[in-house]
Amino acid sequence: GHDGSFKLSYYNEYKSYLSMVRLKLEAELEGHDGPVWSVDWSPVSKTLATAGSDKIVRLWRKEGDCGKWVCFANLDGGNAKTIRQVTWSPCGRKLATASFDSVCAVWEYSDGEGWELGATLEGHENEVKSVAWSRDGDYLASCSRDKTVWVWEVTGDDYECASVLQVHTQDVKRVAWHPNTPVLASSSYDNTIKLYRENGDDWECYDTLSGHSSTVWAICFNKNGDKLVSCSDDRTLRVWTSKDSKKYTCASSLFGFHGRPIYDVCWGRHGYIASASGENTIRVFELNGSSLLLSHVEENAHKGDVNTIRWKGNLLASGGDDEVVRIWMLETT
């Protein structure tokens, strides 16, 4: 059984709480040749990086008087197969990719030279599914179908493997760092979330979060790190809470809103949670106490599975199987 704080929300028992927020389509970005697997906003500008099965990282920004979104850079040649994730470093001058070629590529920006391939991190035995920078940029984490999580120590342009963690029993789908402390989380095909911390010269897994009944596709901390949201092939969202940013317990589970697997989830700094699912739909939730309330449903957000979703202020970027990236504006009335 669950402790008393655990709440299970079912759609049929649920009083509709569609608050006065909506997503307004601001732009459609076309250029990828194949499904878009990852979008990520620069932490220092309104530049969007996108990547997918065409093996190219594309960079987009608004240009000109009319503010049209344009692709101003194509980073090609870093990976030989599908790029599953692209992510910005905290300084906004590096981009790391996770690819099915079993390699993490790191692109680096320098004044005068622009973007250049700075490093190729090898070690995983097969497809790399996710890559994430720690909040200070001192560490890079990667995870793979080989069931391992790697922690790389970053010193300038040098990347050294600090730890290889093999505690998941299946394919590891996502890695995410705590926003304020050196805690790393990973989620897996084995239905669990693992938490890691530094222990002397190595890293250790110190907790396992169980509850999902199928693959945990994605995890995301809130801005304070006292909460974590997870999404799963079991079609549920779970919110995990912590008093010390170390041990997390499940505070609520949301079931019945998604008819297909939920592939990505992002917790914006404004408090809204967006989910991307296999029914072409984006949903926006807000937290009330420990319960998730549905605020908006954007049906047919893409013509196919929505694979990836990221907030930047009130802007929301999404990418899908339809090869298109869309930028939405969250409007509150």
The pLDDT tens digits of the residues spanning 148-178 come to: 999 999 999 999 999 999 999 999 999 999 9
For residues 50 and 86, the answer to whether their CB atoms sit within 8 Å is yes
29-54 burial: b if 16+ Cβ within 10 Å, else e:
bebbeebbbbbbbbeeeebbbbbbbb
Q: Which amino acid is at 154?
A: V
Residue 253 has pLDDT above 90, yes or no: yes
Which pairs from 279-287 meet CB under 8 Å and 24+ separation?
280/304, 280/305, 280/306, 280/320, 281/306, 282/23, 282/306, 282/309, 282/316, 282/318, 282/328, 283/257, 283/258, 284/21, 284/23, 284/330, 285/237, 285/254, 286/19, 287/227, 287/239
Averaged over 84-109, what is the pLDDT?
Answer: 98
What rounded mean pLDDT belongs to the chain?
Answer: 94
Averaged over 39-61, what is the pLDDT?
Answer: 98
* Rounded (5°) CA angle 281-284-290: 130
Closest to 95 (Cα-Cα) out of 32, 135, 50: 50
Residue 291 has pLDDT above 90, yes or no: no
Predicted confidence (pLDDT) per residue in 197-252, tens digit: 999 999 999 999 999 999 999 999 999 999 999 999 999 999 999 998 889 999 99
Between 18 and 302, the higher pLDDT residue: 302
| The dihedral formed by the CA atoms of 80, 81, 87 and 88, expressed in degrees to the nearest 10 | 20
pLDDT band at 50 (very low <50, low <70, confident <90, very high): very high
Share of residues in the chain with pLDDT > 70 (%)? 94
Q: What is each CA distance from 39 to 98, 246, 307, 320, in whole angstroms?
A: 12, 28, 9, 10
Length of the chain: 333
Nearest-angstrom CA–CA distance, 296 and 92:
31
pLDDT band at 15 (very low <50, low <70, confident <90, very high): very low
For residues 51 and 58, the answer to whether their CB atoms sit within 8 Å is yes
Nearest-angstrom CA–CA distance, 112 and 108:
12
Residue 90 has pLDDT above 50, yes or no: yes
Nearest-angstrom CA–CA distance, 217 and 230:
8
For residues 253 and 211, the answer to whether their CB atoms sit within 8 Å is yes
Residue 8 has pLDDT above 70, yes or no: no
Residue 12 has pLDDT above 70, yes or no: no
